[in-house]
Amino acid sequence: MIKEVIKMKNRMVKIIAVTIPLLMLLSVPSFGNQAPIVNMEVSKNILYPNEQFWANISIEGNVTSGSNINIFYDPSILKVIQLPTNAYHTDGKISVLLASPGNMSIVFQAIGIGNTTIHMHANISSYIFDENQSISVIPFPNHIMFEPPAIEANINTYFEVNVSINATQEWNLTNFNITYDPEILTLENYSLGDTLNNFSTINEVDGTIICNLIANEKTSGKTNLITLKFYGKKAGISNLVIYNASLFNGTNPLKFDIINGKVEVIAVSLYFTPDYSIVYMATGRPSQFGISLFINSLIPIQLVHLFISFDPSLLNATIENGNAFDNFTSTIDNSTGVIQITALNFTKNGILANITFSTLQGGIANIYVSSVTAIDKNFTTVYTHNENATVEILIDDIPPTTT
């Protein structure tokens, strides 16, 4: 009896000895077939315009053929700066085919103001994952800007432009540089806002102004920082650019944006009168209307050569000399919609050319002045300010009422 009990215990020990390792083997996960895990995170959720951030996507576990990830975003608020090498991109959607686990990063830049969402939809080994990340692009709290931002000034005249700050936060120190084109503009003088102390330097040869301004006390709201008085000495366009700028409240740097400016110094202007017309025609029955190209020159000029272009599917043209030049020649190609004019011996400001157009069908036709060459009395090319025209052709097939 005792021997039978001992034999039974031995058999049980053997069974346990075999069973426990087997159970342990079955309980160990098979990493080669691990269910996938997909996560998306972003480096920041709140940012200012032009700031960049990254979205990182991590993929773990088993990835089978045909696995893919799609990222959806609002292209009016966000711009893609950098993509994974195997990504396919159209505005608002990024698609990536996957062959293995890993990490991928996408760099975005904020280009618009508003709240938006980056949505990830992933199909990994037949597992579906959806995740959202909220992004808010908020306006800058402070603005340093030229006022007005765009100026048209006649040659040989003086004008002023302000550099102002509009701040929602208190500040007491700002540093910035200004650059302008010294070939076109001469800086005559400048004056500071009433509550500012000046530590500034001017380089008229390079067209740079270095401003280091300290407010008498911390302030917010609208403040004029500096007023610049320029003289327009040459026709052309000079950009007014603020760079290397900073803004502080004590020692704390503040966020801000910059609104740059532009000055157009005008010596010769070319413009159409009228610059906008509405013309009616019946189907198959052309109407005619006239438009004049005027020239206004503040300096003596010898020659003007230019092209006028229009839509030949909507208009045909004829042309005749105005009263501004003694010598006038022109050619018209109605098949391409191009008029070429050469005028010599400028006599006075006024009409350079009178153009009569015939309508062919309804539509909106723009009339452009382009490739202008103006030569002054010193046989130097002069920049010209050009303005275009638009005509709206409406179809009116309703016969007039009779009584």
Q: What are 59-71's pLDDT values in tens digits?
A: 999 999 889 999 9
Measured CA to CA, the distance from residue 304 to residue 345 in angstroms comes to 9
Q: What kind and span of H or E run contains 16? A: helix 2-27
Measured CA to CA, the distance from residue 267 to residue 381 in angstroms comes to 11
pLDDT classification of 13: cutoffs 50, 70, 90: very low
Residue 292 CB contacts under 8 Å (≥ 6 apart), including other chains: 272, 273, 322, 351, 353, 354, 355
C-beta pairs of 258-261 under 8 Å, 24+ apart in sequence: 258/143, 258/144, 258/145, 259/143, 259/144, 259/145, 259/146, 259/149, 260/145, 260/146, 260/149, 261/145, 261/146, 261/148, 261/149, 261/150, 261/151, 261/161
Residue 323 DSSP symbol:
S
Measured CA to CA, the distance from residue 63 to residue 101 in angstroms comes to 6
In the chain, residues under CATH classification 2.60.40.2910 are: 32-137
pLDDT classification of 202: cutoffs 50, 70, 90: confident
Q: How many CB atoms lie within 10 A of CB 106?
A: 24
CB 38 within 8 A of CB 69: yes
Can you give the pLDDT at residue 5?
A: 43
Which amino acid does the sequence have at 326?
Answer: D
Q: Is the pLDDT of residue 215 over 60?
A: yes
- Record the tokens describing residue 22, joined without a space: 């087997």
Q: Is the pLDDT of residue 80 over 60?
A: yes
3-class secondary structure, 26 = helix
Can you give the pLDDT at residue 204?
A: 86
Which amino acid does the sequence have at 290?
Answer: G
CB 107 within 8 A of CB 53: yes
In the chain, residues under CATH classification 2.60.40.680 are: 144-266, 268-395
The domain defined by 32-137 folds into Immunoglobulin-like (2.60.40)
DSSP structure string for 116-132 = EEEEEEEEETTEEEEEE
pLDDT classification of 396: cutoffs 50, 70, 90: confident
Which amino acid does the sequence have at 231?
Answer: Y
Can you give the pLDDT at residue 20?
A: 46
Least confident of 99-108, 195-204, 205-214: 195-204
Measured CA to CA, the distance from residue 295 to residue 16 in angstroms comes to 108
Question: pLDDT tens across 289-346, in order?
Answer: 999 999 999 999 999 999 999 999 999 999 999 999 999 999 999 999 999 999 999 9
Check if CATH label 2.60.40.680 holds for domain 268-395. Answer: yes
Measured CA to CA, the distance from residue 156 to residue 265 in angstroms comes to 9
3-class secondary structure, 13 = helix
The owner of tokens 């509550």 is 195
How many residues are there in the chain? 403
Among 3.40.50.1580, 1.25.40.10, 2.60.40.680, 1.10.274.10, name the CATH number for the domain at 144-266: 2.60.40.680
Question: pLDDT tens across 257-292, in order?
Answer: 999 999 999 999 999 999 999 999 998 899 999 999
